[in-house]
């Protein structure tokens, strides 16, 4: 698996590095992706070759701009510069961006509405296809996949995992130093836990997700965070997203918030005790999609739509997104299930059922609230 990926990468590298080689492709589809390296690998090693086979004369080239919102920010800056320079065609055909990035790009008219032009546009069902952290992105985006934060726990040590944040608060007092998370500076699984805590304990969960923004809500946020400060006395702080997984695997903690896709990848790579289980507590933990978007003046817009339509097809979502990369599908899971063998389907949905996912899989708060929460965490909890 790894060797074939490596060979694939080398082959692609060699192809790019050979200036004397005859031009094999007439059209190059430029895909630029924010996010971790696995997303670039996904396009270059999985999606691209399949699409090229179906469309002779087309070459798919993907580059990454780095993880986190700053990765999307780089794509935004490039498109914005091309817009300001008044160029007629822009050189990104398909971009993969985070929610905050998509909201800004739609706002600045950098994107093209395309959902109704592609067949797969009808297969999406979640609210995230229309709403990105409070911003209306209806028509401009299709979710590539959803990733979700959930509690991972060791069933040997935790017979009955707490089902809600309130139960967790009791549980840590009975089992001190058995729950671990990575604060707000060590990666998004910790940030997601904190926003989930605030949503559960501030009484304004809906407002945090849907707006409108109210600066006075800071008082309620800070009050919820005061509870978190007390909670923190009974928990272990872990070094980063991977740090939580590491400590779970070594048995140093019994429970902690993790990214579901990262967790499954670790299990399938043999880096994680396969006995560890997942659960989504009430009233929920945040998750986020990555979006496929098409820049307003993409040079190969028609081809870009075809590419996204292919990427959102139930077959690709089943085999590529779910089976090979352990993400939750971007389209409605009911279209995906029939394309998967039960084992692969069960692997993703054994611990967290699709019902739980739709009930307790929350979006992140609006960006203004998000800033208030993480800054409040520094002010109230850390100081």
Q: Where does this chain bind other proteins (CB under 8 A)?
A: 68-70, 73, 182-186, 191, 236-237, 239-240, 243, 246-247, 250-252, 371, 374-375, 378-379, 381-383
Q: Which two tokens stand for residue 45?
A: 């090693």
What is the smallest separation between the CB atom of 307 and other proteins, expressed in angstroms?
A: 30
Range list of β-strands (E), 316-368: 328-329, 361-362
Closer to other proteins by CB, 41 or 372: give it: 372
Closer to other proteins by CB, 101 or 281: give it: 101
What is the smallest separation between the CB atom of 383 and other proteins, expressed in angstroms?
A: 7
Closer to other proteins by CB, 105 or 247: give it: 247
Residue 271: strand, helix, or coil: coil
What is the smallest separation between the CB atom of 235 and other proteins, expressed in angstroms?
A: 11
Q: Which two tokens stand for residue 363?
A: 């979006």
Alpha-carbon torsion, ordered 271, 277, 283, 285, to 10 deg: 10
Contact 170, 279 (CB under 8 A): no
What is the smallest separation between the CB atom of 168 and other proteins, expressed in angstroms?
A: 19
Q: Which two tokens stand for residue 174?
A: 């009975």
d(CA 309, CA 293): 12
Closer to other proteins by CB, 51 or 370: give it: 370
What is the smallest separation between the CB atom of 81 and other proteins, expressed in angstroms?
A: 17
Closer to other proteins by CB, 244 or 326: give it: 244
Contact 171, 256 (CB under 8 A): no
Phi, psi angles (nearest 5°) of residue 154 = -95, 110
What is the smallest separation between the CB atom of 70 and other proteins, expressed in angstroms?
A: 6
Closer to other proteins by CB, 70 or 136: give it: 70
Cα–Cα distances (Å) from 68 to 5, 35, 71, 101, 187, in that order, read 24, 6, 6, 10, 9
Closer to other proteins by CB, 68 or 113: give it: 68
Closer to other proteins by CB, 69 or 82: give it: 69
Question: Exposed, middle or buried by CB within 10 Å (0-12, 13-18, 19+), for 235?
Answer: buried
The sign one gets for the Cα dihedral 182, 186, 190, 194 is positive
* The total number of residues written for the chain in this structure: 383
What is the smallest separation between the CB atom of 7 and other proteins, expressed in angstroms?
A: 27
d(CA 104, CA 73): 9
What is the smallest separation between the CB atom of 131 and other proteins, expressed in angstroms?
A: 22
Cα–Cα distances (Å) from 379 to 202, 240, 331, 382, in that order, read 17, 20, 39, 6
Contact 327, 148 (CB under 8 A): no
């Amino acid at each position: 698996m790894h060797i074939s990926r490596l060979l694939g990468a080398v082959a692609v590298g060699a192809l790019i590095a050979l200036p004397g080689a005859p031009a094999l492709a007439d059209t190059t589809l430029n895909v630029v992706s924010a996010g971790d390296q696995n997303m670039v690998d996904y396009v270059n090693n999985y999606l691209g070759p399949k699409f090229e086979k179906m469309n002779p004369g087309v070459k798919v080239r993907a580059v990454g701009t780095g993880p986190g919102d700053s990765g999307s920010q780089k794509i935004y800056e490039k498109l914005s510069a091309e817009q300001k320079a008044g160029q007629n065609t822009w050189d990104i055909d398909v971009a993969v961006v985070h929610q905050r990035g998509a909201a800004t790009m739609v706002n600045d008219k950098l994107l093209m509405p395309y959902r109704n032009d592609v067949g797969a546009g009808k297969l999406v069902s979640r609210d995230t296809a229309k709403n990105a952290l409070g911003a209306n992105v209806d028509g401009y985006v299709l979710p590539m996949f959803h990733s979700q934060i959930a509690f991972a726990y060791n069933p040997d040590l935790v017979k009955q995992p707490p089902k809600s944040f309130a139960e967790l608060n009791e549980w840590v007092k009975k089992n001190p130093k058995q729950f671990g998370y990575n604060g707000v500076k060590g990666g998004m699984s910790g940030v997601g836990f904190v926003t989930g805590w605030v949503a559960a304990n501030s009484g304004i969960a809906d407002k945090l997700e849907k707006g409108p923004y109210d600066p006075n809500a800071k008082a309620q946020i800070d009050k919820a965070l005061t509870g978190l400060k007390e909670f923190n006395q009974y928990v272990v702080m872990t070094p980063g997203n991977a740090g939580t997984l590491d400590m779970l695997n070594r048995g140093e903690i019994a429970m902690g918030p993790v990214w579901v896709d990262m967790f499954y990848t670790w299990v399938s790579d043999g880096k994680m005790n396969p006995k560890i289980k997942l659960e989504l507590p009430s009233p929920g933990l945040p998750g986020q999609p990555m979006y496929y978007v098409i820049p307003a003046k993409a040079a190969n817009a028609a081809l870009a739509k075809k590419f996204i339509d292919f990427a959102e097809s139930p077959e690709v979502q089943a085999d590529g997104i779910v089976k090979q990369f352990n993400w939750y599908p971007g389209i409605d899971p009911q279209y995906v299930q029939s394309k998967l063998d039960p084992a692969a389907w069960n692997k993703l949905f054994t611990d967290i059922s699709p019902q739980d996912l739709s009930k307790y899989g929350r979006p992140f708060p609006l960006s203004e609230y998000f800033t208030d929460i993480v800054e409040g965490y520094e002010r109230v909890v850390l100081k």
